[in-house]
A and B are shown apart, each in its own frame.
Chain A
Amino acid sequence: MLRSRAFVKRTRKGNVVRVVKEHYLRDDIHCGFCDCQNPVCLARKKAIFEEGEENGAGQKALETNAPLSADPRDSTKWGKHYLIPDTNVFINQIDILEKPVLCDVIVLGTVLEELKGLSMAVYSRVRSIVSNHGAIRRWFVFSNEHHRETFVDREKDESPNDRNDRAIRVATKWYNTHLKERYGISALMLTDDANNRKLATESGIPTEGVKDYLETFVDHPELIEMMSSVTIQRDKDWEGYTDHITSGQIQAGLKSGFLVQGTLQVASYNYLEGSIFGQGPDGKEQKILIVGRKAMNRAIHGDRVVVKLLPKSEWKSVPSTAIEDEDEDTVPESASENKDKGKDAVVPEKSTADGPSKKKIRVSDEPKDDTDENDAPAIPLGEVVGIIQRHWRPYCCFVDPKQHISKSATGDSAMRSLYVLAMDRRIPKIRIMTRQANKLVGQRLLVALDAWPKESRYPQGHFVRLLGSAGDRATETEVLLLEHDVPYQEFSAKVLADLPAEGDKWLFDPERDGVLAGKRRDLRDINVCSIDPPGCTDIDDALHARKLPNGNFEVGVHIADVTHFVKPNTAMDAEAANRSTTVYLVDKRIDMLPPLLGTNLCSLHCNVDRLAFSCIWEVDSDANIVNVDFCRSVIHSKASFTYGEAQARIDDPSNTDDLTEGVRTLNRLAKKMRAKRMAAGALTLSSPEVRFKLENNSQDPVDVEMKALQETNALVEEFMLLANISVARKIFSHFPDTALLRRHPTPPPQNFDNLQRALASLSMKLDIESSLTLGNSLDKAVLPEDPYFNTLVRILTTRCMMQAVYFCSGTVNREDFNHYGLATEIYTHFTSPIRRYSDVMVHRLLAASIDKETVYGDELTNKTKMREQCDTLNHRHRMAQQAGRSSVELFTNLFFKGKTVIEDGYVTQILQNGFSVLIPQYGIEGIVYTTDKDAKNTSTPILKYNSDTNRLESATSPDSAVIYLFQKVKVLLEVDDQPVSANVSSMRRKLHLRLLTPNIEGLSVPQDELKAIKSKIGDSLKDTGDDTRHKEEEKLAEKITADPSIVDKI
């Protein structure tokens, strides 16, 4: 049967058009009940079975496509019943619906369509429940919109919403008539819409509200707790936010240029200062500040918002008084929070409220704001008037310690509202309703946001689950994985089903793996070896070199052939694409591929046959490339060296076997290549990287050391770079539109401003004309009396760089392909397919480039898909790096817990109300605050920021005490050993640094206190001034320069 569906829509140009689409109604849609004897359902199930049988999985296909059981949940009120939730139930209670307790659920096509329009995130979560757990949890999607008996036409004067509600009712009714009499199963419509419930009851359709329904789950009280409920609680002294404008007004406003849209970014150093990048009044893309909670008008970090610019006259008052007023007058109970945040955030809100420094407090690397407003163009100020799209996710939170829970909680069963603070300080505090307030104190919990009504000062959310107690290593690790959006769940059965059936018994087979067919070269007789860090189990790469009869050398890089096992369009491939990268934390690794592949079948272990993708060059003795060849191969690695072992072999002259000679040749060639690369302008940058020695049993950190680098690191790196570049050229020539490449944009000169100013005071200058000149001037930036200085400059230079990103070649101009840090005109990632999905894609591209018979689908040729995948890769890559860093920070805190150490450090950044100090010994960086914690009058900071010199100077006598970039300071380092729940800052796990020298009155640790500390820690206190330390540093400084990883891990 045919129905036409007509609706009116507005096109991109703004024209209103009528769209007519066909809509076919069918007779062959089955109900999803496994035992249904209805002829239509039987016929359909037979068809599904036969279709599945073609792949030998008929029964399985039946189970997933007709999952509803004959024995669903039985309740006294409704008898045996299936659940039919309406759209809003999905939107609001998705966290509950994801719980495995809720089985036998029918998802209607109408609901899915509505979900798509309302929230893609919820839609995909529902889809993933159905596709991953549909058979077990018995979820079924019923396409009621295409079923002849359940389709409803929109009636005259009926709103689309009412029509959809009616469609849901009709479908529920259909199920009841279809199943009730014969099988005694009813369908229960779950909705919180009172009107809808009333209409349903009138026509005899079973229906219930979510809360009432969940109360029948006596053994799962946590379900009620997780319910999102929006109750309007008016805060006293709070006049409420202004209304958001409608979407029609938004469109009109954007079109006329009256409004600006952008993604709200909240400053991490000041949660009351947001900004968007959007079109300013002069038509240029620029930053627009949104200051204060009122102006942000319920938008949260990451939301896509519409902003109205404030009149230019108000820009002048940029920007401090505006926020502070709000804080002082209208946020009485959060004043304490602010003070607390002020201590560990960079900005002491309170102090500036009525103090003499009316100037906006901000990180100093935005000199524009600090300069006098008259001569610098003011930054436009705006306020949020509407929200286009929310970007909410579940947040890791902890209970605001300022609330007195034990006193006010009258018992465990009483619901009470509770404020929780997110780990991410850019997120405002969230009000949740809970019965277990006492239990939650000192714990980490996951909280989802529900709504932010305009009457309420803070958003409302609901409890999702408990993560564990704060300060606990496992909990904190989970928290940082969640906060960085790292998918860390175990691999699902569906993914594991895609592994080779032989499991770890898998062996190379010349017939099956294509050697006999000429698709794979047998290189097992070549002396191949791998060189990796100690303890490496996922060996991506192996190398070989041998002399050719013509005097040239043959050099081979062999990369694990992951794509042999991970085929496109499999569950494993989808999972790997989503994970995008393996995440390395201090104590564990979140794999991208199941361990059977990652650490066994793909990993190029020694003394076994392994499949590889080889890149083989012919190079002459001056390391010029004569020829390059790519092939799939099978290799038999002769040895797995660590960097140290390989180095020892090179250094030992008595060792002359083939393998060692090969490594020596490689080393010789690598040095020449490196020299050439340096001459071309490749940068050696630096980052403070540390490695923890973990105690074996408890995995608690017992020692920290800097990562040391050896010549062999550079050797491997050199050939990996070469392979990546060669492959990039190859795939770009074959797929000019859809090659996956990596670029590193040239940094804009203003990034270097602060660094240049600081260097100028030492009469040095960085020449940032090109990467070559920058490299040369970096080499010259040496202070003879301080060997660490050069490394420090390199670390700071690294921070001026742009992020390297993956991109799809068809989306970027050819001249923008260049990789600044490596000084090459084209680059990609090919060498670590076990831990990076980008490399997997590059492998597929390369395979298609070298063998025209390779079968591939649009995953390699579709520009849109490729670009989307690049976005995912970049996001995951960035998150993985940050998660790694957070993990180091976590372990640093664990390491220093209860310890007090005095260390040398360097000033790396000057802030308005503090400065950050890098401690080379541990590679950690922390902030020293220049506001006096103890003094009552915090309005006068001890040190004042001088924007001309980028220094902190004493407010009373500018010459007596100064803090400047590169200054060597001595600091006291401690971690609060108070109970973690005691205050906000320790819940946010921060390391405390206090200044020792230079001695600044009121800021540095007083002498008597220092003595007390010294006597307390006694012998364990190391005197940092001694010579041995300096020698160590010298060594470090030499080695660390070889690490380009900060810009680009190869």
Chain B
Amino acid sequence: MQELLSPEGLRVDGRRPNELRKISCRASVLRSSDGSAYYEQGNTKVLVAVYGPHESRHRSQVQFDRAFINVEFNVAPFSTNERRKRSKNDKRLLEIASAIKQTFEPVVITTLFPRSQIDIYLHLFQHDGGTLETCINAATLALIDAGIPLHDYVCACTAGYIENTPILDLNHTEEASPETPDLTIAILPRTQKIALLQMESKLHVEKVEEIITAAMHGCKFIHKKLDDAVSQVTKELSEKLNQ
């Protein structure tokens, strides 16, 4: 069994339990889309493009009172150590896409755009754990970039439990170990409401609160990062306007 947390209190990659990986992100990276973002959390890297709101392509999806959110999630075949091409109907991908969709449906003010559609396209280029959290964070940034009205940011973070210590933001090694329970949480930082909570492993109920608290701290930190990225873009934009 691999030692994931050394007695000195360092994790496999040298972080302490309560530290996130390095985050770097940027909005407005694509010209062709209405909004876009590139987001890195450690070695997990995602590119998001948002289109819309625009007229619905399929009549069947039209909702008379609100906009329809369409999420497509793709994983590049070169994203993991071993190259593997995934089919478009890979259940795992569809599941993540639908989780993202469900997270954003109540946050995007869809009622402003009845009978229309918003597309979110996500591409994972490199995978090192925490797919869902990076996707949600990146999508938030791209939606803001697209100017789509949201109630709040959505910030996501994972947390796990190793050697009786809650640890934040698992990388792939930590995530892949079968002993580590991991949980993904997405919150709306202003109201502290939880938009998504996902956990597929077993963990005693008493410890859940502990790691939720840890993950919420992580979310708040991420919120700041996203906010910075947004103001950066805004600043650049205003500079351009003033020129």
* Pairing of A with B: yes
Q: Which residues of A contact B (CB under 8 A)?
A: 2, 4, 11, 15, 17-26, 109, 116, 127, 130-131, 141, 143, 145-146, 569, 855-858, 861-862, 864-865
A131: chain B residues at CB < 8 Å are 7
B8-16, B56-64, B183-191: which lies at the interface: B8-16
Separation in Å of the A7 CB from the closest CB of chain B? Answer: 11
**Interchain CB contact under 8 A, A17 and B1:** no
A17: chain B residues at CB < 8 Å are 81-82
B15: chain A residues at CB < 8 Å are 24
Contact pick for B7, options A4, A127, A146, CB 8 Å = A127
Of all A-B residue pairs in the complex, the 5 with the closest CB atoms, nearest first, are: A146-B14, A24-B14, A17-B81, A22-B13, A855-B206
A11: chain B residues at CB < 8 Å are 81-82
Complex-state Cα separation, A370 to B186, whole angstroms: 72
**Interchain CB contact under 8 A, A22 and B1:** no
User: Per-residue 0/1 for B198-209: is the Cβ within 8 Å of any A Cβ (1 yes, 0 no)?
Assistant: 000011101100
**Interchain CB contact under 8 A, B14 and A855:** no
B-side interface size class: 20 to 34
Chain B residue at minimum C-beta to C-beta distance from A2 = B22
Complex-state Cα separation, A865 to B43, whole angstroms: 30
**Interchain CB contact under 8 A, A143 and B164:** no
Contact pick for B21, options A19, A22, A855, A861, CB 8 Å = A22
In the complex where A17-B81, A131-B7 touch, is A857 in contact with B179 (Cβ < 8 A)?
Answer: no
A20: chain B residues at CB < 8 Å are 43, 81, 128
Complex-state Cα separation, A25 to B181, whole angstroms: 26
Separation in Å of the A610 CB from the closest CB of chain B? Answer: 28
**Interchain CB contact under 8 A, A569 and B164:** yes
**Interchain CB contact under 8 A, B179 and A855:** no
**Interchain CB contact under 8 A, B178 and A24:** no
Chain A residue at minimum C-beta to C-beta distance from B3 = A116
**Interchain CB contact under 8 A, A146 and B10:** yes
Chain A residue at minimum C-beta to C-beta distance from B173 = A21
Complex-state Cα separation, A4 to B1, whole angstroms: 23
**Interchain CB contact under 8 A, A23 and B10:** no
Complex-state Cα separation, A856 to B15, whole angstroms: 28
Contact pick for B14, options A26, A127, A861, A865, CB 8 Å = A26
In the complex where A22-B128, A23-B14, A569-B164 touch, is A864 in contact with B82 (Cβ < 8 A)?
Answer: no
A23: chain B residues at CB < 8 Å are 13-14
Which residue among B1, B10, B12, B203 has the maximum number of chain A CB atoms within 10 Å of its CB?
B10
**Interchain CB contact under 8 A, A855 and B204:** yes
B204: chain A residues at CB < 8 Å are 855-857
**Interchain CB contact under 8 A, B43 and A862:** no
Judged by a CB distance under 8 angstroms, whether B42 is at the interface is yes
Judged by a CB distance under 8 angstroms, whether B171 is at the interface is yes
A861: chain B residues at CB < 8 Å are 202
Chain B residue at minimum C-beta to C-beta distance from A142 = B8
Separation in Å of the B4 CB from the closest CB of chain A? Answer: 13
Complex-state Cα separation, A116 to B4, whole angstroms: 13
B3: chain A residues at CB < 8 Å are 116
Separation in Å of the A209 CB from the closest CB of chain B? Answer: 29
Contact residues of B between 116 and 132, Cβ < 8 Å to A: 128
**Interface majority SS on A: helix, strand, loop or mixed?**
mixed
In the complex where A22-B13, A22-B171 touch, is A130 in contact with B82 (Cβ < 8 A)?
Answer: no
Complex-state Cα separation, A578 to B225, whole angstroms: 47
**Interchain CB contact under 8 A, B202 and A858:** yes
Contact pick for A145, options B14, B81, B82, CB 8 Å = B14
Which residue among A15, A21, A26, A127 has the maximum number of chain B CB atoms within 10 Å of its CB?
A21
Separation in Å of the B158 CB from the closest CB of chain A? Answer: 15
Given A17-B82, A22-B128, A857-B204, output 6 extra A-B contacts at Cβ < 8 Å: A20-B128, A23-B14, A24-B13, A141-B6, A857-B207, A861-B202
**Interchain CB contact under 8 A, B7 and A15:** no
Complex-state Cα separation, A146 to B11, whole angstroms: 10
Contact residues of B between 184 and 243, Cβ < 8 Å to A: 202-204, 206-207
**Interchain CB contact under 8 A, B7 and A864:** no
Complex-state Cα separation, A589 to B88, whole angstroms: 65
16 A-B pairs, CB-CB below 8 angstroms? A2-B22, A11-B82, A17-B81, A23-B13, A23-B14, A24-B14, A26-B14, A109-B6, A141-B8, A143-B6, A143-B10, A145-B14, A146-B10, A855-B204, A857-B207, A858-B179
User: Per-residue 0/1 for B1-45: is the Cβ within 8 Å of any A Cβ (1 yes, 0 no)?
Assistant: 101001110101111000001100000000000000000001100
A569: chain B residues at CB < 8 Å are 164
A116: chain B residues at CB < 8 Å are 3
**Interchain CB contact under 8 A, A22 and B82:** no
Chain A residue at minimum C-beta to C-beta distance from B13 = A22
Separation in Å of the B12 CB from the closest CB of chain A? Answer: 8
**Interchain CB contact under 8 A, A4 and B178:** no
Chain A residue at minimum C-beta to C-beta distance from B42 = A22
Separation in Å of the B214 CB from the closest CB of chain A? Answer: 15
Separation in Å of the A896 CB from the closest CB of chain B? Answer: 48
B178: chain A residues at CB < 8 Å are 862, 864
**Interchain CB contact under 8 A, B43 and A141:** no
Complex-state Cα separation, A24 to B15, whole angstroms: 7
In the complex where A22-B21, A865-B179 touch, is A4 in contact with B43 (Cβ < 8 A)?
Answer: yes
Complex-state Cα separation, A861 to B181, whole angstroms: 12
